[in-house]
Amino acid sequence: MPTLHHISAVFLSLTILLQPAMVFAGEWGLPDTGDVSRGAFIRAVARAFELQAHGNDALPYRRISKDMIEAVRAVHERDALSIFGKDLRLAAAITRGESIQITAKLAGLGQSGDGKTNFRDVRDDTALARSVDVAIDQEWLVPVRSTQFGVTRTLTGKEAEKMLKKASGRAGQQRKESGDSMTSQTIRIKLPVKEKTTVVPKSDILQTVWQLINDEYLYQDKVSADEAAYGAIEGMVESLDDPYTTFFRPVKAQNFRNQIKGEVTGIGAQVEDKAGVLTIVTPLRGSPAEKAGLLPGDEILAADDVSLAGLSFLDAVEKVRGPKGSTVKLTIRRNGTELSVSVMRDIVTVPEIEVTMQEGVGIVRIMQFGQATDTKLRAEMEKLALSKPKGVILDLRNNPGGLEHAATMVVSNFLPKGSIVSIIKSRTSSEEHKTADHPTFDVTVPLVLLINGGSASASEIVAGALQDTKRAILVGEKTFGKGTVQAVLQFNDQSSLKLTIAEWLTPLGRKIDKVGIEPDIKVVYSTERDEQMLKALDLLRR
Protein backbone atom coordinates (compact mmCIF):
# COMPACT_ATOMS: atom_id res chain seq x y z
CA MET A 1 0.00 0.00 0.00
CA PRO A 2 1.71 3.09 0.81
CA THR A 3 2.53 6.21 1.46
CA LEU A 4 4.86 7.83 2.36
CA HIS A 5 8.45 9.64 2.66
CA HIS A 6 9.57 10.94 5.80
CA ILE A 7 11.41 13.32 7.87
CA SER A 8 11.02 14.81 11.14
CA ALA A 9 12.15 17.47 13.32
CA VAL A 10 11.51 15.44 16.35
CA PHE A 11 9.73 12.94 14.19
CA LEU A 12 7.19 10.27 14.71
CA SER A 13 8.36 6.83 13.72
CA LEU A 14 8.97 6.47 10.04
CA THR A 15 6.84 3.57 9.04
CA ILE A 16 6.38 1.39 6.03
CA LEU A 17 2.88 2.38 5.07
CA LEU A 18 0.65 -0.07 3.32
CA GLN A 19 -2.13 1.48 1.30
CA PRO A 20 -4.68 2.92 3.71
CA ALA A 21 -8.44 2.96 3.45
CA MET A 22 -8.89 6.72 3.27
CA VAL A 23 -11.91 8.74 4.34
CA PHE A 24 -11.94 12.28 2.96
CA ALA A 25 -14.22 15.26 2.82
CA GLY A 26 -15.51 16.70 -0.45
CA GLU A 27 -18.04 15.66 -3.07
CA TRP A 28 -15.98 12.72 -4.33
CA GLY A 29 -13.88 12.06 -1.27
CA LEU A 30 -10.94 14.21 -2.38
CA PRO A 31 -8.74 15.88 0.26
CA ASP A 32 -9.63 19.49 0.96
CA THR A 33 -5.96 20.43 1.12
CA GLY A 34 -2.70 18.92 -0.07
CA ASP A 35 -1.89 16.44 -2.79
CA VAL A 36 -4.11 13.66 -4.13
CA SER A 37 -2.95 10.05 -4.08
CA ARG A 38 -3.50 7.74 -7.04
CA GLY A 39 -5.91 5.65 -4.98
CA ALA A 40 -7.97 8.67 -3.91
CA PHE A 41 -8.13 9.91 -7.52
CA ILE A 42 -9.19 6.52 -8.90
CA ARG A 43 -11.96 6.33 -6.32
CA ALA A 44 -13.02 9.90 -7.04
CA VAL A 45 -13.05 9.50 -10.81
CA ALA A 46 -15.04 6.25 -10.54
CA ARG A 47 -17.57 8.01 -8.37
CA ALA A 48 -17.68 11.17 -10.51
CA PHE A 49 -18.31 9.18 -13.71
CA GLU A 50 -20.68 6.78 -11.91
CA LEU A 51 -18.71 3.80 -13.14
CA GLN A 52 -19.77 0.26 -12.37
CA ALA A 53 -17.49 -2.78 -12.48
CA HIS A 54 -18.93 -5.67 -14.51
CA GLY A 55 -16.37 -8.48 -14.55
CA ASN A 56 -14.80 -10.67 -11.88
CA ASP A 57 -11.50 -11.52 -13.58
CA ALA A 58 -8.30 -11.17 -11.57
CA LEU A 59 -6.83 -7.68 -11.87
CA PRO A 60 -3.32 -7.52 -13.38
CA TYR A 61 -1.99 -5.22 -10.66
CA ARG A 62 0.04 -5.82 -7.52
CA ARG A 63 -1.12 -5.08 -3.98
CA ILE A 64 -4.72 -3.92 -4.37
CA SER A 65 -6.57 -3.80 -1.05
CA LYS A 66 -10.11 -5.13 -0.85
CA ASP A 67 -11.66 -1.70 -0.37
CA MET A 68 -10.02 -0.48 -3.61
CA ILE A 69 -10.84 -3.44 -5.88
CA GLU A 70 -14.26 -2.23 -7.05
CA ALA A 71 -13.07 1.27 -8.03
CA VAL A 72 -9.88 -0.02 -9.66
CA ARG A 73 -11.82 -2.65 -11.62
CA ALA A 74 -14.37 -0.09 -12.83
CA VAL A 75 -11.65 2.25 -14.16
CA HIS A 76 -9.52 -0.65 -15.44
CA GLU A 77 -12.40 -2.01 -17.54
CA ARG A 78 -12.40 1.32 -19.42
CA ASP A 79 -8.67 0.82 -20.16
CA ALA A 80 -7.81 4.00 -18.28
CA LEU A 81 -5.05 2.71 -15.99
CA SER A 82 -2.51 1.46 -18.54
CA ILE A 83 -0.24 4.46 -17.88
CA PHE A 84 0.68 2.97 -14.50
CA GLY A 85 1.86 -0.46 -15.67
CA LYS A 86 1.47 -3.43 -13.32
CA ASP A 87 2.07 -1.57 -10.04
CA LEU A 88 -0.52 1.14 -9.42
CA ARG A 89 1.27 2.34 -6.25
CA LEU A 90 -2.03 3.67 -5.01
CA ALA A 91 -0.56 5.59 -2.08
CA ALA A 92 1.80 7.61 -4.30
CA ALA A 93 0.77 11.14 -5.25
CA ILE A 94 -0.80 11.37 -8.71
CA THR A 95 0.63 13.89 -11.17
CA ARG A 96 -1.34 16.37 -13.23
CA GLY A 97 -0.27 14.54 -16.38
CA GLU A 98 -1.46 11.16 -15.12
CA SER A 99 -4.78 12.56 -13.92
CA ILE A 100 -5.70 14.25 -17.20
CA GLN A 101 -4.89 11.10 -19.22
CA ILE A 102 -7.23 9.01 -17.04
CA THR A 103 -9.95 11.67 -17.11
CA ALA A 104 -9.72 12.23 -20.87
CA LYS A 105 -9.99 8.48 -21.48
CA LEU A 106 -13.10 8.12 -19.31
CA ALA A 107 -14.70 11.23 -20.83
CA GLY A 108 -14.26 9.79 -24.32
CA LEU A 109 -11.81 12.53 -25.23
CA GLY A 110 -8.53 10.62 -25.06
CA GLN A 111 -7.78 10.99 -28.77
CA SER A 112 -9.41 14.38 -29.29
CA GLY A 113 -6.33 16.60 -29.06
CA ASP A 114 -4.10 17.19 -32.07
CA GLY A 115 -0.96 16.25 -30.11
CA LYS A 116 0.79 19.57 -30.74
CA THR A 117 1.69 21.74 -27.77
CA ASN A 118 4.12 24.54 -27.02
CA PHE A 119 5.07 23.19 -23.62
CA ARG A 120 8.64 22.12 -22.98
CA ASP A 121 7.57 19.39 -20.56
CA VAL A 122 5.23 17.70 -23.07
CA ARG A 123 6.49 15.79 -26.11
CA ASP A 124 4.38 16.27 -29.25
CA ASP A 125 2.41 13.46 -30.88
CA THR A 126 2.00 11.48 -27.67
CA ALA A 127 -1.04 10.41 -25.66
CA LEU A 128 0.02 12.87 -22.98
CA ALA A 129 0.17 15.74 -25.50
CA ARG A 130 -3.34 14.93 -26.73
CA SER A 131 -4.63 14.82 -23.16
CA VAL A 132 -2.99 18.19 -22.42
CA ASP A 133 -4.79 19.65 -25.45
CA VAL A 134 -8.07 18.32 -24.07
CA ALA A 135 -7.39 19.65 -20.57
CA ILE A 136 -6.73 23.13 -21.92
CA ASP A 137 -9.67 23.07 -24.32
CA GLN A 138 -12.06 21.90 -21.61
CA GLU A 139 -10.49 24.23 -19.03
CA TRP A 140 -9.77 21.36 -16.63
CA LEU A 141 -6.34 22.60 -15.55
CA VAL A 142 -4.34 25.78 -16.06
CA PRO A 143 -0.69 25.60 -17.26
CA VAL A 144 1.80 26.52 -14.54
CA ARG A 145 3.50 28.94 -16.94
CA SER A 146 3.41 29.86 -20.63
CA THR A 147 6.11 27.35 -21.62
CA GLN A 148 5.35 24.59 -19.11
CA PHE A 149 2.12 22.77 -18.43
CA GLY A 150 3.34 21.10 -15.22
CA VAL A 151 2.61 17.47 -16.08
CA THR A 152 4.99 16.13 -13.41
CA ARG A 153 3.60 18.29 -10.61
CA THR A 154 1.38 16.55 -8.10
CA LEU A 155 -2.35 17.15 -8.41
CA THR A 156 -4.02 19.08 -5.59
CA GLY A 157 -7.45 18.34 -4.18
CA LYS A 158 -8.86 21.62 -5.49
CA GLU A 159 -7.53 20.95 -9.00
CA ALA A 160 -8.99 17.44 -9.00
CA GLU A 161 -12.38 18.64 -7.77
CA LYS A 162 -12.59 21.28 -10.50
CA MET A 163 -11.50 18.91 -13.25
CA LEU A 164 -13.86 16.10 -12.30
CA LYS A 165 -16.84 18.44 -12.02
CA LYS A 166 -16.29 19.69 -15.56
CA ALA A 167 -15.31 16.34 -17.07
CA SER A 168 -18.07 14.25 -15.48
CA GLY A 169 -20.69 16.85 -16.43
CA ARG A 170 -19.71 16.49 -20.10
CA ALA A 171 -19.58 12.72 -19.82
CA GLY A 172 -23.05 12.64 -18.27
CA GLN A 173 -24.41 14.70 -21.17
CA GLN A 174 -22.80 12.33 -23.69
CA ARG A 175 -24.42 9.31 -21.99
CA LYS A 176 -27.81 10.99 -22.13
CA GLU A 177 -27.47 11.85 -25.83
CA SER A 178 -26.28 8.38 -26.82
CA GLY A 179 -28.97 6.55 -24.84
CA ASP A 180 -26.41 4.81 -22.64
CA SER A 181 -28.33 2.62 -20.20
CA MET A 182 -25.43 2.19 -17.78
CA THR A 183 -26.72 1.69 -14.26
CA SER A 184 -25.72 4.46 -11.91
CA GLN A 185 -23.60 3.38 -8.96
CA THR A 186 -22.26 5.37 -6.05
CA ILE A 187 -18.85 4.29 -4.78
CA ARG A 188 -18.69 5.43 -1.17
CA ILE A 189 -15.36 6.03 0.50
CA LYS A 190 -15.46 4.28 3.84
CA LEU A 191 -13.63 1.88 6.05
CA PRO A 192 -13.96 -1.81 5.19
CA VAL A 193 -17.17 -3.16 6.70
CA LYS A 194 -17.21 -6.68 8.07
CA GLU A 195 -20.31 -8.85 8.24
CA LYS A 196 -20.27 -8.67 12.01
CA THR A 197 -19.79 -5.23 13.56
CA THR A 198 -17.81 -5.13 16.79
CA VAL A 199 -19.77 -3.21 19.43
CA VAL A 200 -17.91 -0.46 21.29
CA PRO A 201 -17.20 -1.84 24.79
CA LYS A 202 -19.25 -0.34 27.62
CA SER A 203 -21.18 1.66 25.04
CA ASP A 204 -24.26 1.73 27.25
CA ILE A 205 -22.26 3.22 30.12
CA LEU A 206 -20.51 5.69 27.80
CA GLN A 207 -23.87 6.85 26.46
CA THR A 208 -25.34 7.16 29.94
CA VAL A 209 -22.36 9.14 31.27
CA TRP A 210 -22.50 11.52 28.32
CA GLN A 211 -26.24 11.98 28.79
CA LEU A 212 -25.77 12.72 32.50
CA ILE A 213 -23.04 15.26 31.75
CA ASN A 214 -25.32 17.06 29.32
CA ASP A 215 -28.38 16.94 31.60
CA GLU A 216 -26.98 17.40 35.08
CA TYR A 217 -23.38 18.68 35.07
CA LEU A 218 -23.20 22.06 36.79
CA TYR A 219 -20.55 23.74 34.65
CA GLN A 220 -22.14 23.43 31.24
CA ASP A 221 -19.76 25.99 29.74
CA LYS A 222 -16.97 23.43 30.18
CA VAL A 223 -18.74 20.71 28.20
CA SER A 224 -17.24 20.12 24.74
CA ALA A 225 -18.57 17.35 22.53
CA ASP A 226 -15.41 17.29 20.40
CA GLU A 227 -13.13 17.19 23.44
CA ALA A 228 -15.14 14.36 24.97
CA ALA A 229 -15.16 12.33 21.75
CA TYR A 230 -11.47 12.83 21.00
CA GLY A 231 -10.57 12.02 24.60
CA ALA A 232 -12.53 8.76 24.44
CA ILE A 233 -10.85 7.77 21.15
CA GLU A 234 -7.39 8.63 22.50
CA GLY A 235 -8.01 6.56 25.60
CA MET A 236 -9.08 3.59 23.48
CA VAL A 237 -5.99 3.83 21.28
CA GLU A 238 -3.61 4.39 24.19
CA SER A 239 -4.95 1.23 25.86
CA LEU A 240 -3.23 -0.76 23.08
CA ASP A 241 0.17 0.25 24.49
CA ASP A 242 1.62 0.38 20.96
CA PRO A 243 3.95 3.35 20.27
CA TYR A 244 3.27 3.06 16.54
CA THR A 245 -0.54 3.22 16.80
CA THR A 246 -1.68 6.80 17.33
CA PHE A 247 -4.82 8.89 16.97
CA PHE A 248 -4.21 12.41 15.66
CA ARG A 249 -6.63 15.24 16.28
CA PRO A 250 -7.05 17.47 13.18
CA VAL A 251 -4.19 19.90 13.95
CA LYS A 252 -1.74 17.14 14.84
CA ALA A 253 -2.93 15.13 11.85
CA GLN A 254 -1.99 18.06 9.61
CA ASN A 255 1.42 18.23 11.31
CA PHE A 256 1.90 14.55 10.58
CA ARG A 257 0.96 15.06 6.93
CA ASN A 258 3.47 17.91 6.72
CA GLN A 259 6.17 15.65 8.13
CA ILE A 260 5.43 13.02 5.53
CA LYS A 261 5.88 15.62 2.78
CA GLY A 262 9.46 16.11 3.93
CA GLU A 263 9.67 19.54 5.54
CA VAL A 264 8.97 20.51 9.14
CA THR A 265 10.23 22.90 11.78
CA GLY A 266 12.06 21.54 14.80
CA ILE A 267 15.37 19.99 15.79
CA GLY A 268 15.51 17.36 13.03
CA ALA A 269 15.58 14.08 14.92
CA GLN A 270 13.50 10.95 14.58
CA VAL A 271 12.28 9.86 18.00
CA GLU A 272 10.44 6.94 19.57
CA ASP A 273 8.79 6.22 22.87
CA LYS A 274 10.92 3.62 24.65
CA ALA A 275 9.53 2.54 28.01
CA GLY A 276 7.90 5.95 28.43
CA VAL A 277 11.04 7.92 27.55
CA LEU A 278 11.38 10.04 24.39
CA THR A 279 14.39 8.45 22.71
CA ILE A 280 16.30 9.57 19.61
CA VAL A 281 16.39 6.95 16.88
CA THR A 282 18.56 9.10 14.66
CA PRO A 283 19.39 12.76 14.09
CA LEU A 284 18.78 13.68 10.47
CA ARG A 285 21.86 14.53 8.43
CA GLY A 286 22.67 18.22 8.43
CA SER A 287 19.94 18.89 11.02
CA PRO A 288 20.23 21.10 14.10
CA ALA A 289 20.14 17.93 16.21
CA GLU A 290 23.17 16.48 14.44
CA LYS A 291 25.05 19.79 14.61
CA ALA A 292 24.38 19.93 18.36
CA GLY A 293 25.94 16.49 18.77
CA LEU A 294 22.82 14.46 19.59
CA LEU A 295 23.25 10.72 18.97
CA PRO A 296 21.04 7.66 18.39
CA GLY A 297 19.93 6.30 21.75
CA ASP A 298 20.00 9.67 23.55
CA GLU A 299 17.04 9.92 25.96
CA ILE A 300 15.33 13.31 26.16
CA LEU A 301 14.30 13.83 29.78
CA ALA A 302 13.30 17.51 29.73
CA ALA A 303 12.86 20.48 27.39
CA ASP A 304 13.63 23.95 28.73
CA ASP A 305 13.74 22.45 32.25
CA VAL A 306 10.20 21.07 31.88
CA SER A 307 10.20 17.33 32.59
CA LEU A 308 8.71 15.11 29.87
CA ALA A 309 8.00 12.33 32.37
CA GLY A 310 4.36 11.31 32.41
CA LEU A 311 3.52 13.11 29.16
CA SER A 312 2.04 11.29 26.20
CA PHE A 313 4.36 10.69 23.27
CA LEU A 314 2.81 13.46 21.16
CA ASP A 315 2.76 15.95 24.04
CA ALA A 316 6.44 15.23 24.71
CA VAL A 317 7.24 15.76 21.03
CA GLU A 318 5.39 19.09 21.05
CA LYS A 319 7.55 20.28 23.96
CA VAL A 320 10.69 19.67 21.88
CA ARG A 321 9.31 21.21 18.69
CA GLY A 322 9.07 24.94 18.19
CA PRO A 323 9.35 27.82 15.72
CA LYS A 324 12.35 28.40 13.48
CA GLY A 325 15.14 30.34 15.14
CA SER A 326 14.11 29.52 18.71
CA THR A 327 16.41 27.53 20.98
CA VAL A 328 15.42 24.61 23.17
CA LYS A 329 17.55 23.35 26.05
CA LEU A 330 17.31 19.57 26.23
CA THR A 331 18.25 17.46 29.22
CA ILE A 332 19.75 14.31 27.73
CA ARG A 333 20.62 11.00 29.33
CA ARG A 334 23.42 9.21 27.45
CA ASN A 335 24.82 5.93 28.75
CA GLY A 336 23.52 6.72 32.23
CA THR A 337 24.98 10.24 32.36
CA GLU A 338 22.82 13.37 32.18
CA LEU A 339 23.94 16.39 30.15
CA SER A 340 22.42 19.59 28.81
CA VAL A 341 22.34 20.30 25.06
CA SER A 342 20.98 23.49 23.44
CA VAL A 343 19.56 23.15 19.94
CA MET A 344 18.40 25.97 17.67
CA ARG A 345 15.28 24.89 15.83
CA ASP A 346 15.06 25.29 12.09
CA ILE A 347 13.11 24.18 9.03
CA VAL A 348 14.48 20.75 8.24
CA THR A 349 14.43 19.26 4.76
CA VAL A 350 15.76 15.78 4.25
CA PRO A 351 17.96 15.06 1.22
CA GLU A 352 17.63 11.51 -0.01
CA ILE A 353 20.40 10.39 -2.35
CA GLU A 354 24.11 11.09 -2.63
CA VAL A 355 26.28 9.15 -5.09
CA THR A 356 30.08 9.60 -5.12
CA MET A 357 33.21 7.71 -6.18
CA GLN A 358 36.20 7.04 -3.93
CA GLU A 359 39.20 4.94 -4.91
CA GLY A 360 37.22 3.40 -7.76
CA VAL A 361 34.39 2.40 -5.40
CA GLY A 362 30.87 3.71 -5.82
CA ILE A 363 29.44 5.09 -2.56
CA VAL A 364 25.66 5.42 -2.47
CA ARG A 365 24.21 7.17 0.57
CA ILE A 366 20.45 6.98 1.02
CA MET A 367 19.20 9.24 3.80
CA GLN A 368 15.55 8.15 3.67
CA PHE A 369 13.30 6.05 1.45
CA GLY A 370 11.07 8.72 -0.05
CA GLN A 371 9.78 9.52 -3.51
CA ALA A 372 13.20 10.59 -4.82
CA THR A 373 14.65 7.18 -3.94
CA ASP A 374 11.62 5.49 -5.44
CA THR A 375 11.72 7.37 -8.75
CA LYS A 376 15.27 8.66 -9.27
CA LEU A 377 17.73 6.25 -7.66
CA ARG A 378 17.56 3.61 -10.37
CA ALA A 379 18.75 6.07 -13.03
CA GLU A 380 21.63 7.07 -10.74
CA MET A 381 22.54 3.41 -10.23
CA GLU A 382 22.49 2.73 -13.97
CA LYS A 383 24.83 5.68 -14.47
CA LEU A 384 27.11 4.39 -11.71
CA ALA A 385 27.15 0.90 -13.24
CA LEU A 386 28.41 2.35 -16.54
CA SER A 387 31.53 3.60 -14.74
CA LYS A 388 32.34 -0.03 -13.84
CA PRO A 389 33.22 0.46 -10.16
CA LYS A 390 35.30 -2.22 -8.46
CA GLY A 391 32.58 -2.39 -5.81
CA VAL A 392 29.63 -0.53 -4.28
CA ILE A 393 29.10 0.72 -0.72
CA LEU A 394 25.44 1.23 0.16
CA ASP A 395 25.34 3.51 3.20
CA LEU A 396 22.09 3.25 5.17
CA ARG A 397 23.42 4.51 8.49
CA ASN A 398 20.96 6.74 10.34
CA ASN A 399 18.36 6.13 7.62
CA PRO A 400 15.03 6.00 9.50
CA GLY A 401 13.11 4.31 6.66
CA GLY A 402 10.17 5.36 4.52
CA LEU A 403 8.35 3.85 1.58
CA GLU A 404 8.33 0.07 1.42
CA HIS A 405 8.15 0.25 -2.39
CA ALA A 406 11.33 2.38 -2.44
CA ALA A 407 13.12 -0.28 -0.36
CA THR A 408 12.09 -2.95 -2.87
CA MET A 409 13.33 -0.74 -5.71
CA VAL A 410 16.73 -0.35 -4.02
CA VAL A 411 17.11 -4.11 -3.58
CA SER A 412 16.16 -4.66 -7.23
CA ASN A 413 19.47 -3.08 -8.27
CA PHE A 414 21.39 -6.01 -6.80
CA LEU A 415 19.17 -9.12 -6.89
CA PRO A 416 17.65 -11.02 -9.83
CA LYS A 417 14.18 -10.03 -10.99
CA GLY A 418 11.52 -11.82 -8.96
CA SER A 419 13.64 -12.08 -5.80
CA ILE A 420 11.81 -11.93 -2.47
CA VAL A 421 12.56 -8.71 -0.61
CA SER A 422 10.25 -9.05 2.38
CA ILE A 423 7.28 -10.98 3.71
CA ILE A 424 4.34 -8.94 5.01
CA LYS A 425 2.38 -10.91 7.60
CA SER A 426 -0.98 -9.68 8.93
CA ARG A 427 -3.51 -11.40 11.18
CA THR A 428 -5.15 -13.13 8.26
CA SER A 429 -2.63 -13.34 5.42
CA SER A 430 0.98 -13.44 4.35
CA GLU A 431 2.31 -11.77 1.21
CA GLU A 432 5.72 -11.86 -0.45
CA HIS A 433 7.04 -8.64 -1.96
CA LYS A 434 9.40 -9.27 -4.88
CA THR A 435 11.63 -7.23 -7.17
CA ALA A 436 10.06 -6.28 -10.49
CA ASP A 437 13.15 -5.14 -12.41
CA HIS A 438 16.42 -6.63 -13.57
CA PRO A 439 19.50 -5.69 -11.51
CA THR A 440 21.66 -2.77 -12.59
CA PHE A 441 24.80 -4.40 -11.14
CA ASP A 442 26.13 -7.82 -12.05
CA VAL A 443 26.47 -10.30 -9.20
CA THR A 444 30.25 -10.13 -9.67
CA VAL A 445 30.30 -6.52 -8.43
CA PRO A 446 30.89 -6.79 -4.65
CA LEU A 447 28.56 -4.94 -2.32
CA VAL A 448 29.06 -3.71 1.25
CA LEU A 449 26.13 -2.37 3.28
CA LEU A 450 26.74 0.06 6.16
CA ILE A 451 24.22 -0.04 9.02
CA ASN A 452 23.92 1.23 12.59
CA GLY A 453 21.41 1.77 15.38
CA GLY A 454 19.75 4.55 13.39
CA SER A 455 18.99 2.23 10.44
CA ALA A 456 15.31 1.43 10.83
CA SER A 457 12.18 0.26 9.05
CA ALA A 458 12.74 0.27 5.26
CA SER A 459 16.51 0.29 5.86
CA GLU A 460 16.10 -3.01 7.67
CA ILE A 461 14.09 -4.43 4.79
CA VAL A 462 17.02 -3.75 2.48
CA ALA A 463 19.59 -5.04 4.97
CA GLY A 464 17.62 -8.20 5.70
CA ALA A 465 17.09 -9.04 2.02
CA LEU A 466 20.72 -8.49 1.04
CA GLN A 467 21.98 -10.41 4.07
CA ASP A 468 19.63 -13.39 3.61
CA THR A 469 20.67 -13.75 -0.03
CA LYS A 470 24.36 -13.28 0.86
CA ARG A 471 24.53 -10.54 -1.77
CA ALA A 472 26.14 -8.01 0.56
CA ILE A 473 28.48 -7.91 3.54
CA LEU A 474 26.88 -5.93 6.37
CA VAL A 475 29.31 -3.71 8.28
CA GLY A 476 28.63 -1.53 11.31
CA GLU A 477 26.30 -1.96 14.27
CA LYS A 478 22.97 -3.62 15.02
CA THR A 479 19.95 -1.91 13.44
CA PHE A 480 17.07 -0.30 15.34
CA GLY A 481 14.51 -3.11 15.12
CA LYS A 482 11.37 -1.55 13.61
CA GLY A 483 9.49 -4.27 11.77
CA THR A 484 5.79 -3.43 11.92
CA VAL A 485 3.56 -1.99 9.22
CA GLN A 486 1.19 0.93 9.76
CA ALA A 487 -1.78 2.16 7.74
CA VAL A 488 -2.92 5.77 8.04
CA LEU A 489 -6.67 6.37 7.90
CA GLN A 490 -7.92 9.92 7.51
CA PHE A 491 -11.44 10.83 8.63
CA ASN A 492 -13.79 13.47 7.29
CA ASP A 493 -13.07 15.88 10.17
CA GLN A 494 -9.37 15.73 9.16
CA SER A 495 -8.40 13.67 12.21
CA SER A 496 -6.56 10.43 11.46
CA LEU A 497 -5.49 7.10 12.90
CA LYS A 498 -2.12 5.46 12.37
CA LEU A 499 -2.73 1.79 13.05
CA THR A 500 -0.37 -1.18 13.21
CA ILE A 501 -1.81 -3.79 10.84
CA ALA A 502 1.04 -6.18 10.04
CA GLU A 503 4.70 -6.97 10.47
CA TRP A 504 7.38 -7.76 7.92
CA LEU A 505 9.93 -10.54 7.93
CA THR A 506 13.13 -11.04 5.93
CA PRO A 507 13.08 -13.39 2.90
CA LEU A 508 14.14 -16.28 5.18
CA GLY A 509 11.35 -15.46 7.63
CA ARG A 510 13.49 -13.73 10.24
CA LYS A 511 11.62 -11.44 12.65
CA ILE A 512 13.07 -7.93 12.91
CA ASP A 513 10.70 -6.01 15.20
CA LYS A 514 12.40 -5.38 18.56
CA VAL A 515 15.24 -7.66 17.34
CA GLY A 516 17.09 -5.72 14.65
CA ILE A 517 19.68 -7.01 12.21
CA GLU A 518 23.18 -7.87 13.31
CA PRO A 519 26.06 -6.87 10.99
CA ASP A 520 28.35 -9.54 9.52
CA ILE A 521 31.31 -7.46 10.67
CA LYS A 522 30.81 -5.31 13.76
CA VAL A 523 32.59 -1.95 13.69
CA VAL A 524 31.80 0.72 16.28
CA TYR A 525 31.50 4.24 14.93
CA SER A 526 34.03 6.84 16.02
CA THR A 527 33.53 10.59 15.71
CA GLU A 528 37.25 10.99 15.05
CA ARG A 529 37.52 8.53 12.13
CA ASP A 530 34.79 6.84 10.15
CA GLU A 531 36.06 3.34 10.90
CA GLN A 532 32.95 1.78 9.40
CA MET A 533 33.49 3.41 6.00
CA LEU A 534 37.20 2.63 6.14
CA LYS A 535 36.43 -1.04 6.81
CA ALA A 536 34.01 -1.12 3.85
CA LEU A 537 36.62 0.39 1.53
CA ASP A 538 39.22 -2.09 2.81
CA LEU A 539 36.92 -5.03 2.01
CA LEU A 540 36.48 -3.82 -1.56
CA ARG A 541 40.20 -3.29 -2.14
CA ARG A 542 40.86 -7.02 -1.75
Nearest to 369 by CA among 392, 343, 396: 396
Integer angstrom CA distances of residue 18 from 2, 10, 58, 78: 4, 23, 21, 26
First-last CA distance in the chain = 41
Beta bridge partners of 432: 423
Given the residues 457, 459, 495, 496, the one annotated as active site: 457
Residues 457 and 32: their CA atoms lie apart, in Å, by 30
In this structure, are residues 341 and 267 in contact, taking their beta carbons and an 8 Å threshold? no
Nearest to 505 by CA among 395, 431, 417, 423: 423
Given the residues 35, 395, 468, 495, the one annotated as active site: 468
The SS3 call for residue 453 is coil
Which residues, 6+ apart, have CB-to-CB distance to 166 below 8 Å? 138, 139, 140
Given the residues 455, 482, 495, 496, the one annotated as active site: 482
Residues 440 and 413: their CA atoms lie apart, in Å, by 5
In this structure, are residues 396 and 367 in contact, taking their beta carbons and an 8 Å threshold? no
DSSP state letters, 77-101: TTT--GGGTT---TTSBPBHHHHHH
* CB-count burial class (<10 Å; 0-12, 13-18, 19+) for 355: middle
Question: Any catalytic annotation for residue 468?
Answer: yes
Residues carrying an active site annotation: 457, 468, 482
